[in-house]
């Protein structure tokens, strides 16, 4: 485990408890933090990630984004499989290089887009073909953590990844607006993405809201799908196949509630299973690159 701050500690806990994996060590530049996590999980505490090069089969990298590229490249070149938190790297060029290094060394590169493992999103997949319009809202109160990047790379990138995986077509145009509020970077932003197949997505992200909300709505010709990503609720509203009676709505409404579950554990279990089986990761380097490219295009419009 490289980086055991707020999120990295959770990664480390999963690796320590998943059968078939052994947590070899935790790395963090902050001594009190690495020592505390190492003591909790009965493993080694290290200040320098290079001490683990050649000693591990796989790593999770949960450092600030500027460190992703160099650390991931070193471990891939040393023969380790890599799960790196989003955004995959700072630049598109770095992401492309990591993908090539992983290919050259025959190692997996997985990117931590956690919402792909959300139970409601997984259950909705069968209803999402040929979308016409998509609306996303990801709102959160302000926290200092994560402000090393703007809200597009911090929060919106989750929805960018989901939207692009649903639509499956290139982006034709982007219109975006955003502004800083409490930090030195953009804290609230909206982007309108038009795809070459005609689908339009309206994506909003804020880290200066009074409440936390994560919702995704997908409109098709005969179906409206609403996903509450936070509460794990899937609602599917469809046109009735036959004419409705006098007292009936012309639609059917189905709602499913899912256990909160543990998306992070599902992500890590999937990563380890892909290593063992050689399967393509659910979110591989190409997916991370695609989301990063779009996030950067949006950021460039924000000025």
Strand order in the sheet with 251-257: 171-179, 188-195, 200-206, 133-139, 213-219, 223-228, 233-239, 251-257
**Confidence (pTM):** 0.93
Tens digit of pLDDT for each residue in 136-178? Answer: 999 999 987 656 789 999 999 999 999 999 999 999 999 999 9
Element (H, E) at 259: none
The overall average pLDDT reported for the chain is 94
87 C-beta neighbours (distance < 10 Å), count? 26
Same domain, 224 and 128: yes
The closest of 19, 95, 84, 97 to 58, measured between CA atoms, is 84
Last residue of a domain, one of 112, 128, 146: 112
Same domain, 87 and 236: no
Task: Judge whether residue 246 has pLDDT over 70.
Answer: no
Inter-residue contact 138 to 283 (CB < 8 Å): no
Find the mean pLDDT for residues 237-241.
83
User: Could you give the percent of the chain with pLDDT greater than 90?
Assistant: 90
Residue 164 lies in a domain: yes
Query: Cα(112)–Cα(135) distance, rounded to whole angstroms?
Result: 22
- pLDDT bin (cut points 50, 70, 90) of residue 87 is very high
b/e map of 263-286 (b: 16 or more CB within 10 Å)?
bbbbbbbbbbebbeeeeebbbbbb
Bridge pairing between strands 109-112 and 81-85: parallel
Find the mean pLDDT for residues 196-216.
96
Same domain, 193 and 86: no
CATH of the domain at 246: 3.30.360.10
Roughly what angle, to the nearest 10 degrees, separates helices 157-167 and 285-302? 120
Q: Which residues pair with 27 in a beta bridge?
A: 2, 46
Same domain, 121 and 18: no
Find the mean pLDDT for residues 232-256.
81
Range of the domain at 66: 6-112
CATH of the domain at 93: 3.40.50.720
Find the mean pLDDT for residues 4-31.
96
Tens digit of pLDDT for each residue in 18-54? Answer: 999 999 999 999 999 999 999 999 999 999 999 999 9
Look at residue 196 in the predicted model and tell me its pLDDT.
98
């Amino acid at each position: 485990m490289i980086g055991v701050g707020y999120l990295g500690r959770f990664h480390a806990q999963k690796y320590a408890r998943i059968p078939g994996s052994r947590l070899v060590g935790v790395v963090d530049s902050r001594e009190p933090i690495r020592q505390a996590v190492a003591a909790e999980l009965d493993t080694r505490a290290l200040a320098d990630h290079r001490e683990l090069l050649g000693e591990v089969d796989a790593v999770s990298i949960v450092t600030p984004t500027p460190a992703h590229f160099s650390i991931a490249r070193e471990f891939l070149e040393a023969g380790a499989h890599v799960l790196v938190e989003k955004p995959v790297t700072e630049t598109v060029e770095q992401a492309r290089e990591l993908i090539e290094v992983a290919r050259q060394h025959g190692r997996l590169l997985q990117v931590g887009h956690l919402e792909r493992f959300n139970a409601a999103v997984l259950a909705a997949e069968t209803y999402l073909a040929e979308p016409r319009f998509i609306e996303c809202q990801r709102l959160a109160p302000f926290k200092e953590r994560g402000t090393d990047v703007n809200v597009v790379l911090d929060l919106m990138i989750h929805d960018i990844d989901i939207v692009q995986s649903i639509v499956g077509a290139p982006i034709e145009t982007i219109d975006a607006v955003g502004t800083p509020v409490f930090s030195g970077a953009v804290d609230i932003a909206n982007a309108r993405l038009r795809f070459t197949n005609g689908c339009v997505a309206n994506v909003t992200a804020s880290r200066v809201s009074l409440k936390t909300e994560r919702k995704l709505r997908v409109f098709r010709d005969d179906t409206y799908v609403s996903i509450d990503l936070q509460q794990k609720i899937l609602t599917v509203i469809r046109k009735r196949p036959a004419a409705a009676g006098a007292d009936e709505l012309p639609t059917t409404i189905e709602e499913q509630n899912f256990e909160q579950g543990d998306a992070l554990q599902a992500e890590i279990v999937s990563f380890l299973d892909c290593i063992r089986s050689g399967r393509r990761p659910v979110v591989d380097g190409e997916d991370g690159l695609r989301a990063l490219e779009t996030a950067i295009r949006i950021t460039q419009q924000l000025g």
